[in-house]
Amino acid sequence: MGNIELEIHNKVAIVTLNKKPFNLVNREYYAEIKLFMENLNLREDFNVVILRSGCKCFCAGGDLDEIKNIVTLGDDFATYACRSCAEAMGAIINCKKPVIAAVNGKAIGAGAAIVASCDIIIADEEAVFSFPEITVGLIGASEFLQILIPRRLARYYVLTGQPIKAQEVKAFGGILDVVPKENLMERAFKVADEISILAPKSVTLLKKALNDNDNERLSEKYMHEAKLGLQFYKSKDAKETIASVLEKRKPVFTGE
């Protein structure tokens, strides 16, 4: 524990993900995020949340050792790891107050899913999103990208693992604003201030209504993909994928 920091300023809760150097996530970090957000929901001294990174990038995705274990240790480990991820995202989505993501640099895989779990997104000009799961032997998280960009376009990015720049996501309406790096928190605070001056109970109830009406079912969809992923994890190609990543070479697939 201890990878997440909290400051409260003028009814704005500033939550900093700070697992150095790249905010790589694993089961323990997912559990920490889940518990932190659930405990934050018990407080009454904030009206809006800014979720940011204290690291070199917003989040560089999953820890490679954990990804290797998902592929090699079997169904129980894979299910547990995926459920931990789904629960962490769910805790962000279900925060009783609006969550503003302030995204610096890369948001990869789980990092991009964390961003998509927020209500409003501000990114700096260097921000890039990607869901490269398919390139490292995993299946999942496509439903998060489909919140940010049109579904058919999202299919290209999740099926190839290619990155998409913040400016492109903004063009499709998934990001409120893209600003210079030095203006990122200033812009996030401006949006937070617009929300924090409103009646707190009305904001809480509206956030709940938005979640209920949108009914994205993200955790359910993620776990559905994870179950399909279990079929792939058992294959020789899955093991070849992770081996090629670790050995920094091109994979040789056999279709087995």
- 89, 117, 157, 179, 207 from 162: Cα distances, Å: 22, 20, 5, 23, 32
Low-confidence ranges of the chain (pLDDT < 50): none
Bond from prior residue into 98 cis (ω within 30 degrees of 0): no
Residue 216 token pair: 């994205």
Query: What is the structure's pLDDT at 237?
Result: 87
CATH of the domain at 35: 3.90.226.10
pLDDT of residue 1: 55
With respect to residue 71, please indicate whether it lies within any of the assigned structural domains. Answer: yes
C-alpha span between 209 and 7 (Å, rounded): 27
| Mean pLDDT score across all residues of the chain | 91
In a domain, 221, yes or no: no
Residue-level pLDDT at 73:
67
In a domain, 76, yes or no: yes
Which uninterrupted H or E stretch holds 157?
helix 151-160
Closest CA to 200 of 54, 12, 32, 31: 12
Residue 131 lies in a domain: yes
Which of 103, 112, 113 has the alpha carbon at shortest distance from 51? 103
Q: Which domain holds residue 67?
A: 4-181+199-214
Kindly write down the DSSP assignment for every residue of 44-107, as one continuous string: -S-SEEEEEESSSSSB--B-HHHHHHHHHS-HHHHHHHHHHHHHHHHHHHT-SS-EEEEE-SEE
Residue 69 exposure: Cα atoms within 13 Å on the Cβ side: 14
Is 80 a member of any domain? Answer: yes
- Count structural domains, the chain: 1
Residue 17 to residue 6: CA distance in whole angstroms: 9
Model-level pTM greater than 0.85? yes
CA 63/CA 61 separation, integer angstroms: 7
223, part of any domain = no
pLDDT of the residue at 71: 67
Whether 233 is covered by a domain: the verdict is no
